[in-house]
Amino acid sequence: MDTRYVTIDPAQAGREDCEELREASRILQAGGLVAFPTETVYGLGGNALDADASRKIYAAKGRPSDNPLIIHIAETEQVKEIAVHITEKAEQLMDVFWPGPLTLIFRKKELVPDSTTGGLKTVAVRMPSHPVAYELISRSGIMIAAPSANSSGRPSPTCAAHVREDLDGKIDMLIDGGACKYGIESTIVDMTGEVPTILRPGYITKEMLEEVIGPVAYDEALSDPSAPPKAPGMKYTHYAPKGELTIVEAGDGASEQDVICRINQLAEERRQQGYRTGILATAKNAVYYRADEVLTLGEREDEWMISANLYRCLRDFDERGVEYIYSESFRSEGLGRAIMNRLLKAAGHRVLLV
Ligand code: AMP
Ligand code: MG
């Protein structure tokens, strides 16, 4: 099929006469697929309550059918149409963090097709804050199932060009609304158990959640790669560049300088073997590195910037034919935890202690 490309300025998305949004809504209502920007990453949207539309999403992405989709809504009231047992804590989280990068898991109502939830009896729901996403959901009158708009296994798309790379000719429309603000996927919290549990870390951190509802747990699988994750999608190799990525971390007594030296040494060894090498660096250290491609994520203290740049850098390595990539490591609290979670998955948990 021919994919139609349109651009919508997020600041203009609210205009009544936006013809592109009208057309996107018509495509969704007819069971087609539209990729659109959100504040986390680009999403690939289809009608969440139409089993055929959700099957098309899996086919376009090459996504395993047991990996459920997140349903995107525009009004809090819509949760009640698709979910049951919405607790007071869930209401509080919705009040504080919606619209925004937080996904909540509830028990699902019958009308949500099994193909949308990968056969699970629960459903994941999020209300995005991006004006284009909001307008698309609200004008189409459709609850939109939207996983990240990448081919399964590749880094999630943080701009329209990434979506085009992966899905050109496989979807009806792509809306370019500029770069994504956060650059990593939403925090997922399971609200069906006794203690709310983080299944995937994101911009909304454990500390931020606990300030609103008290104790929150992490899914065991986040710290033990051998445990089965409760978010089925977290078990797949993910976010991975084509080159082999290794995270180099300072062990006890090692300094930042030791890490830099080791990374340079590893890259040099590979270069001498004839491979193209890449280094993923924080801004302050970038000048010290030697490799074919040194990409800068941002200042170590600016984790927001690092998360916004991460997937773009991984894709840039692919584009430049890099075969071995070495990365610095990040702290495992706050937003750093989400960055490390994606980086570890991209590296297939390959970590080298100095
Ligand atoms: P993506 O939309 O690409 O960010 O992927 C959605 C993520 O949400 C995947 O990791 C899914 O496994 C997870 N997810 C969606 N629905 C559920 C659910 N009902 N229970 C647990 N995890 C879910
Ligand atoms: Mg994804």
The pLDDT tens digits of the residues spanning 33-57 come to 999 999 999 999 999 999 999 999 9
With b for 16 or more beta-carbon neighbours within 10 A and e for fewer, the 164-200 pattern comes to bebbeebbbbbbbbebbbbbbbbbbbbbbeeebbbbb
The whole-angstrom separation of Cα 221 and Cα 230 is 8
The per-residue pLDDT for 226 is 82
> Per 3-state DSSP, what percentage of the chain is helix, strand, and coil (rounded to 5)?
35, 20, 45
Q: ∠ CA(63), CA(67), CA(71), 5° rounding?
A: 100
CB 228 within 8 A of CB 302: no
Model pLDDT for residues 69-80, shown as the tens digit of each residue: 999 999 999 999
Cα 140 to ligand 1 centre (Å): 23
Mean pLDDT over each residue of the chain, to the nearest integer: 96
Closest ligand 1 atom number to CA of residue 230: 21
What is the best residue among 67, 122, 341 to mutate for testing ligand 1's pocket, by most ligand atoms within 8 Å of CB?
Answer: 67
Maximum Cα interatomic distance, the chain, rounded to a whole number of Å: 62
Q: Is the pLDDT of residue 238 over 90?
A: no
What is the best residue among 105, 107, 109, 126 to mutate for testing ligand 1's pocket, by most ligand atoms within 8 Å of CB?
Answer: 105
How many C-beta neighbours within 10 Å does residue 47 have? 24
Q: Given its phi and psi angles, is residue 85 left (phi above 0), alpha (psi -120 to 50 degrees) or beta?
A: left
The whole-angstrom separation of Cα 283 and Cα 300 is 7
Give the confidence band of 237 by pLDDT, cuts at 50, 70, 90.
low
Q: All domains of the chain, ordered by start, with CATH?
A: 4-87+100-186 (3.90.870.10), 244-353 (3.40.50.11030)
The per-residue pLDDT for 289 is 98
* Distance from the Cα of residue 31 to its chain's centroid: 24
Can you tell me the mean pLDDT for 234-247?
84
The per-residue pLDDT for 343 is 95
Ordered strands of the 277-282 beta sheet: 293-298, 277-282, 324-327, 244-249, 351-353
User: In angstroms, what is the C-alpha Rg of the chain?
Assistant: 20
Model pLDDT for residues 94-132, shown as the tens digit of each residue: 999 999 999 999 999 999 999 999 999 999 999 999 999
Q: Is the pLDDT of residue 224 over 90?
A: no
Can you tell me the mean pLDDT for 185-208?
97
The per-residue pLDDT for 235 is 74
301-308: long-range contacts, CB 8 A cutoff, minimum separation 24? 303/330, 303/334, 303/335, 303/336, 303/339, 304/182, 304/203, 304/335, 306/282, 306/330, 306/339, 307/182, 307/183, 307/184, 307/203, 307/335, 307/338, 307/339, 308/158, 308/179, 308/180, 308/181, 308/182, 308/183
The per-residue pLDDT for 240 is 83
Closest ligand 1 atom number to CA of residue 150: 3
**Which of the ligands is closest to the CA of residue 151?**
2
Q: Given its phi and psi angles, is residue 160 left (phi above 0), alpha (psi -120 to 50 degrees) or beta?
A: alpha
The whole-angstrom separation of Cα 231 and Cα 244 is 25
